[in-house]
Each structure stands twice: as structure tokens, then as C-alpha cells.
């Protein structure tokens, strides 16, 4: 009976599928445990060996919790809307649904062959109408809600309307747009319906507004900040510019404080929490209004240092600030316009990160200092962002490093307001100074001066104390086809929601997936995309009459829409009426363990926490936080291979032959390189057409040697390893164990295929404990004390390691245990049955087969986890080193319960002792029980 992984794994994957082994019920007496992987996007490239790392870890934990008696929910699905499928559709004309289906089939095939314990009966896909119907419904709830600062929660917009009807808006404390005009109840009730709707848009949690966005002309869409790198789109590397567009936005800023506070209640790594804290960016300070010289306009700034108000030397506006073009003088117009154009090509992230480059332009305009009335130059600079704070800063170079550098660069006067030397650099501390040259603040320190400055600013009517957040409202519109359609139509240019009874609003068919010729999103190409309010259905655009048939929204929702609530849908995925039943939501509560990549720290994880908190306010989500514990798995790194082409030629020189030539370092497919770093030159020529005529300068042995570098595993680096190949040659259990064995889950680690064979050898050793070449060799005899010791050491270690997510050390312990049992010639059922259960979370296929070989007919997946018994690890004997005059001569094992006198008697009687003494009487015999024996002769 030889270990045949391909046969065994196919058998048990079929068994699990046919018997629905991992199907989870919502009604059970068992305690619940919800294990979830971050929502995967099914790419056409399929999985490489780096992708399953987190899935294997979550699967081990899910299987372990099942063994420990929990009702485990471990689902899987697909975040199947997205830009890659749309770009492929643009290139090929093939509908994104077709390529998405093909990609999902490939993904599912690969996931199944690795043996995950997913409950596939709960599979969801965000691009399925029965899913995005509920995403549309959640959007409507957000539209029909406002944030009440008094109750500190979202409430239905009807409650706000009731306040307006009774008292107007003067006393309303809401998270809303700045500068809303005050109106009375009489005025509100006199407004037209359209006027009321326009006002309510300033309060709704999702709203339409002119917003600065990241526009990618090549992709024809808006991109989120985390979809841009170095001013280029992450997808395709296309230029991205900043421009204003009318967009749907989500008022996530309403939840800024709750998002901060919630971090104290969840089990996440401190680094991940800190990323979110920084992104939310809470600052306490003051809002200050500066009047403009020769203008009725004002500039509002937020500052965390109101104590430095007398140190303001200039002001800087974001290039996109609404006032820039209005206040710029004719003499400065050309320079300002050129700077605005240049800045529009840089992403906000790049501008924030670039602290070395100093650039800016004077507008020619001046503001007025609120106290001294002195003129203050107004500049623009790209280090100020339109979306952060007010898009303007009061520059105090004496107390701010960036302002100091800006002032030095442009020769602006730096006024010292501290009793400190600032001749070389700004003084940025909040302690160890008193103010000077600061009028009524002279002689005061930071805290007292800040409070007094705010009091004076408020007395002037030119500001107030304020808490500010860096977190900005999230743009929610995308100029794409392949996304959730908005359930929105427009009457007189104002948005109206489609009633829940008529959801979903399905994606229409379009002839092409590019924007229209006049720049409208791809849905502008749809011929049937208007809403009939009489018959409540989508109808032909030709029927639009502005009376009963109206245009539908042409944008679609962003990719994060569907992934911001998906964990709830797994709880009750076939519910047609609601996102999930109240019973299911109350049973599962939230995700107990969430595993995924750290790249989602400030995108998905913030948006999903926001939506969860909103749904909690609406009485739907049972918990404030969606993910109780979160682990970021590290990255599996690939070993890239490089060839070296002499510039201007198609000749490649071996790495060890490079001399003075100028060479280009180019990636080569790692599959063309052997373990000795030798390139398959003929294979390389056949790999790509542009290399077909390649010439090679080889070394003295006729070999072409490549270079190597360990870096991210990526198909663009041609360094990916396909898990299918590993599974076919060694089996999925080997792959699972090896990925865990590579190193700690949360650390990055390089892939080395050479190590696979060692793990495969371990599984063959494990197999031989149960069977030889012809038959099962398990016996029913009582195991020895040493066998029990090996088993219970492993039970203890594996349980502790799984609970601590230290999977690599578990694999090491399995190897130690199997080696020990092999040396002990252990084939004993009492040892091998619990050992199979211990191994099952890690290598489930071989564990099922071994369990079956032991005579069991039920699955091992439901067996209780072996119980650790400490008594098997209690030592009852000790191996003593016996020394003569300090030199160890032999060892002897003695019971630990012997007295000193009994040990002395046994040692002196031992023939080895007599041989050492040669008839002499020992001068002294030293015995330390449990430690040493020393004879002085």
C-alpha cells in the first residue's frame, strides 16, 4: 500500500462534495465560530503559490475549531465586479460576465484541488443580480439617512425633515456640508419639493457633489487613491490627473470618531490599527477665518497650533482651491495656470509623500491678519491638498519644517515668535518655550496660549475651536460598465431612488464598453436605460419624456461596494427579501477570524467598518465591528531570473561573462532556468517572438548563467509558481504543509521549490506508521510510555501553536513526532488514531485516508480533537552523567524517586564504577538528585 496522493486526494475531495461535509447550519446547540478570508477577485491568471497562503491558514483554523466542537462557518465567494474584466472586454468585445465566469471556474478548480473546507452552498458573487440587489438596497438606506451628532448615530432622513418642518435647521446638529444657509420652519414649508431635495442632499449619508477626483483618461474612469502608484494607475500604468466631477460620495467622515474608538475594541495588530488612525487623522485645534485685502471673500484654515497665530508669514492654498483663479492677479495668471496644470498630473499620495521637492507660485493676492491687520501673501503649493481640511494653511515657518523650507526657498520673511533660535531650522516642539512677538500671547506656553488664542478668535467672530479629521468622504461613482448599477433616476436633475420592490436594477446590454463619444460613462451607450415611474421598470431611452420616464444614473458603484458587507450575506445567502435574516445575523454576529493582506488596511477595512456601523445604526448589524480578530498573512516571495542584453542588440551575455558592455537587465521566465541558474536557451528563444533571433555569449562551459533576485511573486516578473504543478507532482497535502513550514504566517518568506521534497518525504514516513507496501500494519497493543510521551508532546504543542497561529512550528513538531514514533516502531492504534486527527487540519486528505484505513466509516473532520494529558509528560526517571574527578565517564538512568543513599548504593555497585576505581575506596561521593553524580577518587 503505497502513498498515492493524486488518487487519495481525488477520492476525498469527491467524498466531501457528495456528502456536503462542510455544509454549515444556522441552527445548532454548538457554539459558533466564523472564519473568513478576504474576498478574492477571480483573475484570469488563476492562483500562484503565494495566493493560497492565507487560505491554508484559515482552513487549518476552521478545521481545528470544528474538531474542538464549534459550529464553523467557513465560506467562500468572489468579488466579481471590477476593472480587469472590463478592460479585457474593451480589448476583445467579450462581455465581462463571460470572462468572469471562466475565471471563477478556473479559480474554483484550483481551490478545490487544495482541499479547502469551504461551505460552497453559501457561495456568493457580487456580480450576480441576487447579490447586488441588496447592495442597491443598502445604498438606498444610506441615501435615506443623516448623521445626528446628538444621538451619535445615523437616523432616517424623515426624522430630520420633521425637525425642519417644526423648527427649521438652526438648532440641528448634523454632519453635513459647510455653509448651509439657516432657514426657519416657515421657510422650509414654503420651499418647493425640488428646493427641499436640494437642501437634503447636504445632509444625506450618500450625496451628489462636485468633487476632486483621480481621473484616468486611458481607463476612462475615476480611481481610488489606493489604485494609484507614483501618479499612474496601478492597472496598466496610465497617467492619472486631478479634476472636478459631479460624483456620488459616501459621508464616511461622519463616522470618523467611532472608527477611531472602535479600534480599541478589536484584536488587530497595532501596526494595522496605527495605519487606520493615521488615515483618519484626528487633530484638535481651531478654525480661523482670514479676510482678503480688497475683496469680500475669506479663507478658512484649520490649525492645530492656534498659539502661533502671530507667526503667520504667508498663506498657502491647494492649487485646486475654489478661490485660486478668482484672486490671482493678471500678472500672476500665466504662472498660476501652468502650476495648476502640472499639479493635476500628480496624485494626492505622491504630493503628501514628497517632502523634499519645494514648489509653489505667488497668486499676487493678500489676506489680512485677523489681529494685526497686516497683509499676508497668498501662495499656492502642491503640498496643500484640496480635500484635507479646508485646502488652505496659515504658514508659520518659525514653527513648521515644511513652511520653513518653503519660506527659505522663496525668500519670504520668517518671523520668530519663540524664545528659541530658529536661524537654522524651525522650532517644532510644543514644550520648552514661551511666546514672544505675539502681542497678548507673549510669555505664554503652548496650552495656555492656544486656549487664549481660540478665545480671542471667537470674540472677533473669525473662527472657533474645532476637532478636524484627515478622513475625507469617499467618492462612490465609477465611470465603468462592470459594476453595480445605481438604483437612481433623475427628475429635474435631482436624484430619486427606485423602490425596493423593483430591485434589482440590472446592468443593461451595451454595444461597447468604452465611454461615449461625448464623454459619458459606458452606460451612456445603452439604448434601454430609462426609468418608467408608472410601470416601474427599465425602458428604452426613446421613451424619456421628463414626465413619467426619466434618465437612470450612468455611473456604476465602485469595487468596494459589494465587499463592504459581504460577510453578512454568507450568513444567509439565499434570502431574497433581506441581506440576511435577523435570526442568522444574531446567531453569527460577526467574523471571529479574518485573514487577508495588509494592502487593504486603509481601503476595504475602513469602508467595511463604516458600512457595518451604519447598518448597526439601522438595527440590522448586531455588532459595532465586523471583524473581531484580523491577521495579515505575509507575502510568499518569488525568485526572479534575469538575462542581460547588450544595449542596441539582441545578444545576451551570461552574468558571469559581463565585462564593460552596457547591458539591459530583463526578466526571464523562471521555468526556463534550472537549479544551477542555467538558462534553457532554445526554450528562451521560443518563449517570446522578440527573442526568437537571440544570440548568446556563454561562459567557458557553454552555459548561460542568469541573475537572481528575491521579490514579490508576480506574473509580470515571470517568477510565479503554479500550485497545480506542485499538487500534481507531490499532492495538495504537501503544498499545504510546505506553505505553512516556510516560516511565520505574518512574515514575508521566499519560495524554494527544492524544499518541497522534504515535506513530501515526511508524509511518506507518516504513511509508513500505518501501512507497509502490502497492508495496514496497525496493532491494538498497549503503547509504551515513550509512545504516549511523543503523542502528548505533540498534542500540547500543536494545540498551542494553532491557537497562536504559529503553524510553521506545528509542522516541525509533526516531523519530530513521526521520527520518534518510527524509531519506537510504533504501529499502535491508541497512538495513530489521535495522531491522524492532529494532522487532519494541515493535511486533510492523507488524514481521511489513514482514518479510513483504521476501519472508520465516518469523516475525520468531525472527530473531537485529542485531549492532552499532562501525566504522560511527567518524567519518572533521569539519565545522570556519572563523573570521576570532574570528567564524565558514563551515563545511568535512575528513578527520580530514589533517595540520595539509594543512588549512592546503586552507583558504587555498578561495575563501571568499580572499573574506574580499580579497587580504591572513593574519597567523596557527590549526588545532586535529578542533576549530577560526581565521584572523587
- pLDDT tens track for 752-808: 888 899 999 999 999 999 999 999 999 999 999 999 999 999 999 999 999 999 999
| Pairing of the two strands 71-73 and 32-37 | parallel
Residue 425, classified by CB atoms within 10 Å of its CB into exposed (0-12), middle (13-18) or buried (19+), is exposed
Cα(829)–Cα(916) distance, rounded to whole angstroms?
46
Which range has the worst mean pLDDT, 208-212, 263-267, 529-533, 854-858?
208-212
Other CB atoms within 10 Å distance of the CB of residue 63: 26
Complete DSSP assignment for 75-113? ---B---SHHHHHHHHHH---HHHHHHHHHHHHHHHHHH
Those residues with Cβ within 8 angstroms of residue 737's Cβ, 6 or more apart along the chain or in another chain? 759, 762, 763, 811, 814, 842, 843
Q: What is the mean pLDDT of residues 3-11?
A: 96
Task: Give the DSSP letter of residue 658.
Answer: -
**3 state DSSP class of 896:** coil
Cα(482)–Cα(524) distance, rounded to whole angstroms?
13
Those residues with Cβ within 8 angstroms of residue 50's Cβ, 6 or more apart along the chain or in another chain? 635, 636, 637, 638, 713, 720, 751
Where residue 443 falls (left for φ over 0; alpha for ψ -120 to 50; beta otherwise) is left
What angle, 0 to 180 degrees and rounded to 10, lies between the N-to-C axes of helices 52-67 and 785-803?
120
Which range has the worst mean pLDDT, 380-389, 695-704, 705-714, 831-840?
380-389
- Tell me how far CA of residue 542 lies from CA of 531, 554, 668, in angstroms: 11, 16, 55
**3 state DSSP class of 247:** strand
- CB distance 259 to 606 below 8 Å: yes
What angle, 0 to 180 degrees and rounded to 10, lies between the N-to-C axes of helices 604-617 and 270-280?
80
Task: Give the DSSP letter of residue 330.
Answer: G
Here the cell at position 531 is 426609468
Which range has the worst mean pLDDT, 383-387, 604-608, 810-814?
383-387
Percent of the chain topping pLDDT 90: 80
pLDDT of residue 256: 97
Per residue in 844-894, pLDDT tens? 999 999 999 999 999 999 999 999 999 898 877 888 999 998 899 999 988
Cα(706)–Cα(699) distance, rounded to whole angstroms?
11
| Pairing of the two strands 474-475 and 241-250 | antiparallel
pLDDT of residue 351: 77
Statement: residue 937 has pLDDT above 80: no
Cα(656)–Cα(700) distance, rounded to whole angstroms?
10
Cα(382)–Cα(342) distance, rounded to whole angstroms?
10
Cα(35)–Cα(631) distance, rounded to whole angstroms?
11
H or E stretch at 906: helix 900-909
Segments of 455-576 assigned E as strands: 463-469, 474-475, 488-491, 494-497, 530-532, 537-539, 549-551
- Residue 828 forms beta bridges with which residues? 779
Contacts 24+ apart (CB under 8 A), 371-378: 371/309, 371/310, 371/439, 371/456, 371/460, 372/310, 372/439, 375/293, 376/290, 376/312, 376/313, 376/314, 376/315, 377/313, 377/314, 377/315, 377/412, 378/292, 378/299, 378/314, 378/315, 378/316, 378/317, 378/327
Cα(60)–Cα(53) distance, rounded to whole angstroms?
11
Task: Give the DSSP letter of residue 815.
Answer: H
Those residues with Cβ within 8 angstroms of residue 492's Cβ, 6 or more apart along the chain or in another chain? 194
Scored b (16 or more CB within 10 A) or e, 158-172 reads eebbebbeeebbeeb
Those residues with Cβ within 8 angstroms of residue 207's Cβ, 6 or more apart along the chain or in another chain? 143, 201, 248, 249, 251
Here the cell at position 510 is 451595451
pLDDT of residue 673: 95
Which range has the worst mean pLDDT, 42-46, 276-280, 464-468, 541-545?
42-46
- Tell me how far CA of residue 629 lies from CA of 265, 590, 615, in angstroms: 10, 10, 20
Here the cell at position 465 is 475651536
- Tell me how far CA of residue 375 lies from CA of 87, 229, 290, 366, in angstroms: 53, 40, 10, 6
- Residue 934 forms beta bridges with which residues? 883, 926
Percent of the chain topping pLDDT 70: 99
Cα(569)–Cα(576) distance, rounded to whole angstroms?
11
pTM of the model: 0.86
How remote is the C-alpha of 346 from its chain's centroid? Answer: 24
- CB distance 861 to 21 below 8 Å: yes
Identify the band that residue 716 occupies on the pLDDT scale cut at 50, 70 and 90: confident
Residue 271, classified by CB atoms within 10 Å of its CB into exposed (0-12), middle (13-18) or buried (19+), is exposed
* Total length of the chain: 937
pLDDT of residue 226: 65
Task: Give the DSSP letter of residue 144.
Answer: T
The mean predicted confidence, pLDDT, of the chain is 93
Identify the band that residue 27 occupies on the pLDDT scale cut at 50, 70 and 90: confident
Contacts 24+ apart (CB under 8 A), 334-341: 335/361, 335/362, 336/361, 336/363, 336/380, 339/380, 339/382, 340/380
Statement: residue 336 has pLDDT above 90: yes
- CB distance 571 to 17 below 8 Å: no
Per residue in 195-233, pLDDT tens? 999 999 999 999 998 877 788 888 777 777 667 777 788
- CB distance 832 to 778 below 8 Å: yes
Phi, psi (deg, nearest 5) at residue 425: -160, 165
Cα(849)–Cα(3) distance, rounded to whole angstroms?
10
Here the cell at position 781 is 497493543
- CB distance 828 to 781 below 8 Å: yes
Identify the band that residue 236 occupies on the pLDDT scale cut at 50, 70 and 90: confident
Contacts 24+ apart (CB under 8 A), 828-831: 828/778, 828/779, 828/780, 828/781, 828/782, 828/783, 828/787, 829/778, 829/779, 829/780, 829/854, 830/782, 830/783, 831/783, 831/787, 831/788, 831/790, 831/791
Per residue in 615-651, pLDDT tens? 999 999 999 999 999 999 999 999 999 999 999 999 9
Cα(408)–Cα(25) distance, rounded to whole angstroms?
68
pLDDT of residue 929: 87
pLDDT of residue 210: 82
How remote is the C-alpha of 800 from its chain's centroid? Answer: 26
Amino acid at each position: 500500500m503505497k502513498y498515492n496522493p493524486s488518487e487519495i486526494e481525488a477520492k476525498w475531495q469527491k467524498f466531501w462534495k457528495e456528502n456536503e461535509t462542510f455544509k454549515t447550519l444556522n441552527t445548532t446547540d454548538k457554539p459558533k465560530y466564523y472564519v473568513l478570508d478576504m474576498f478574492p477577485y477571480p483573475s484570469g491568471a488563476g492562483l500562484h503559490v503565494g495566493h493560497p497562503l492565507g487560505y491554508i491558514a484559515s482552513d487549518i483554523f476552521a478545521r481545528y475549531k470544528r474538531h474542538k466542537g464549534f459550529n464553523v462557518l467557513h465560506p467562500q465567494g468572489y468579488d466579481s465586479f471590477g476593472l480587469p474584466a472590463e478592460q479585457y472586454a474593451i480589448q476583445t468585445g467579450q462581455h465581462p460576465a463571460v470572462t468572469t465566469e471562466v475565471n471563477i471556474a478556473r479559480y474554483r478548480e484550483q481551490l478545490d484541488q487544495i482541499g479547502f473546507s469551504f461551505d460552497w452552498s453559501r457561495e456568493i458573487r457580487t456580480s450576480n443580480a441576487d447579490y447586488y440587489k441588496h447592495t442597491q438596497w443598502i445604498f438606498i438606506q444610506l441615501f435615506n439617512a443623516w448623521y445626528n451628532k446628538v444621538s451619535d448615530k445615523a437616523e432616517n432622513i424623515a426624522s430630520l425633515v420633521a425637525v425642519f418642518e417644526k423648527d427649521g435647521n438652526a438648532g440641528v446638529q448634523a454632519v453635513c456640508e459647510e455653509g448651509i444657509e439657516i432657514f426657519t420652519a416657515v421657510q422650509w414649508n414654503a420651499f418647493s419639493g425640488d428646493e427641499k431635495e436640494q437642501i437634503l442632499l447636504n445632509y444625506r449619508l450618500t450625496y451628489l457633489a462636485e468633487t476632486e477626483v483621480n481621473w484616468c483618461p486611458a481607463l476612462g474612469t475615476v480611481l481610488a487613491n489606493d489604485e494609484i502608484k507614483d501618479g499612474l494607475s496601478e492597472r496598466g500604468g496610465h497617467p492619472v490627473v486631478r479634476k472636478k466631477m459631479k460624483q456620488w460620495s459616501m459621508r464616511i467622515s461622519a463616522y470618523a470618531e467611532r472608527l477611531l474608538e472602535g479600534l480599541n475594541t478589536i484584536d488587530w495588530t497595532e501596526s494595522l490599527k496605527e495605519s487606520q488612525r493615521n488615515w483618519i487623522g484626528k487633530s484638535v485645534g481651531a478654525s480661523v477665518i482670514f479676510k482678503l485685502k480688497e475683496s469680500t471673500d475669506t479663507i478658512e484654515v484649520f490649525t492645530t497650533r492656534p498659539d502661533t497665530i502671530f507667526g503667520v508669514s504667508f498663506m498657502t492654498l491647494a492649487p485646486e482651491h475654489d478661490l485660486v483663479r478668482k484672486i490671482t492677479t493678471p500678472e500672476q495668471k500665466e504662472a498660476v495656470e501652468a502650476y495648476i496644470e502640472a499639479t493635476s498630473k500628480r496624485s494626492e499620495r505622491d504630493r503628501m509623500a514628497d517632502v523634499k521637492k519645494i514648489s509653489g507660485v505667488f497668486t499676487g493676492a493678500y489676506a489680512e491678519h485677523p489681529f494685526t491687520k497686516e497683509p499676508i501673501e497668498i501662495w499656492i503649493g502642491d503640498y496643500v491638498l484640496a480635500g484635507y481640511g479646508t485646502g488652505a494653511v496659515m504658514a508659520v515657518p518659525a514653527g513648521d519644517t515644511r513652511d520653513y523650507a518653503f519660506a527659505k526657498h522663496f525668500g519670504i520673511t520668517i518671523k520668530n515668535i519663540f524664545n528659541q533660535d530658529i536661524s537654522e531650522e524651525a522650532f517644532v516642539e510644543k514644550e520648552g518655550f514661551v511666546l514672544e512677538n505675539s502681542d497678548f500671547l507673549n510669555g505664554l506656553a503652548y496650552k495656555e496660549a492656544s486656549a487664549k488664542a481660540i478665545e480671542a478668535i471667537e470674540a472677533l467672530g473669525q473662527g472657533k475651536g474645532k476637532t478636524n479629521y484627515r478622513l475625507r468622504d469617499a467618492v462612490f461613482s465609477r465611470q465603468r460598465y462592470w459594476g453595480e448599477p445605481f438604483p437612481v433616476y433623475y427628475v429635474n436633475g435631482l436624484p430619486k431612488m427606485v423602490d425596493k420592490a423593483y430591485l434589482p436594477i440590472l446592468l443593461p446590454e451595451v454595444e461597447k464598453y468604452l465611454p461615449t463619444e461625448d464623454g459619458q460613462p459606458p452606460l451612456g451607450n445603452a439604448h434601454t436605460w430609462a426609468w418608467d415611474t408608472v410601470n416601474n421598470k427599465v425602458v428604452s431611452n426613446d421613451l424619456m419624456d421628463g414626465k413619467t420616464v426619466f434618465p437612470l444614473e450612468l455611473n456604476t458603484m465602485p469595487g468596494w461596494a459589494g465587499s463592504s458587507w459581504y460577510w453578512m450575506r454568507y450568513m444567509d445567502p439565499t434570502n431574497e427579501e433581506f441581506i440576511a435574516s435577523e435570526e442568522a445575523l444574531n446567531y453569527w454576529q460577526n467574523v471571529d477570524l479574518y485573514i487577508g493582506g495588509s494592502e487593504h488596511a486603509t481601503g476595504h477595512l475602513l469602508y467595511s467598518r463604516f458600512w457595518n456601523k451604519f447598518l448597526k445604526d439601522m438595527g440590522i448589524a448586531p455588532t459595532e465591528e465586523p471583524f473581531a480578530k484580523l491577521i495579515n498573512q505575509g507575502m510568499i516571495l518569488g525568485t526572479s531570473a534575469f538575462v542581460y542584453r547588450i544595449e542596441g542588440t539582441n545578444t545576451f551575455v551570461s552574468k558571469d561573462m559581463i565585462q564593460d558592455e552596457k547591458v539591459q537587465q530583463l526578466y526571464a521566465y523562471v521555468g526556463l532556468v534550472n537549479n544551477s541558474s542555467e538558462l534553457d536557451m532554445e526554450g528562451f528563444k521560443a518563449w517570446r517572438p522578440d527573442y526568437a533571433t537571440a544570440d548568446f555569449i556563454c561562459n567557458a562551459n557553454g552555459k548561460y548563467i542568469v541573475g537572481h533576485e528575491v521579490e514579490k511573486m508576480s506574473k509580470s516578473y515571470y517568477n510565479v509558481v503554479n500550485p497545480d504543478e506542485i499538487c500534481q507532482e507531490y499532492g495538495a497535502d504537501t503544498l499545504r504543509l510546505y506553505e505553512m513550514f516556510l516560516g511565520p504566517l505574518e512574515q514575508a518568506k521566499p519560495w524554494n521549490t527544492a524544499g518541497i521534497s522534504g515535506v513530501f518525504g515526511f508524509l511518506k514516513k507518516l504513511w509508513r506508521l500505518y501501512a507497509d507496501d502490502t497492508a495496514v500494519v496497525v496493532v491494538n497493543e498497549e503503547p509504551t510510555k515513550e509512545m504516549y510521551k511523543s503523542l502528548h508532546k505533540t498534542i500540547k504543542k500543536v494545540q498551542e501553536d494553532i491557537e497562536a497561529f504559529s503553524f510553521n512550528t506545528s509542522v516541525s513538531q509533526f516531523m519530530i513526532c513521526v521520527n520518534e514514533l518510527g524509531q519506537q516502531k510504533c504501529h499502535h492504534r491508541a497512538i495513530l488514531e489521535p495522531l491522524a486527527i492532529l494532522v487532519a487540519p494541515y493535511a486533510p486528505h492523507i488524514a481521511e485516508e489513514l482514518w479510513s484505513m483504521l476501519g472508520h466509516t465516518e469523516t475525520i473532520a468531525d472527530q473531537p480533537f485529542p485531549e492532552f494529558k499532562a501525566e504522560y509528560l511527567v518524567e519518572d526517571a533521569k539519565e545522570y552523567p556519572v563523573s570521576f574527578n570532574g570528567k564524565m565517564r558514563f551515563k545511568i538512568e535512575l528513578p527520580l524517586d530514589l533517595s540520595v543513599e539509594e543512588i549512592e548504593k546503586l552507583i558504587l555497585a555498578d561495575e563501571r564504577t568499580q572499573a574506574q576505581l580499580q579497587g580504591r575506596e572513593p574519597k567523596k561521593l557527590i549526588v545532586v538528585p535529578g542533576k549530577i553524580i560526581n565521584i572523587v577518587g
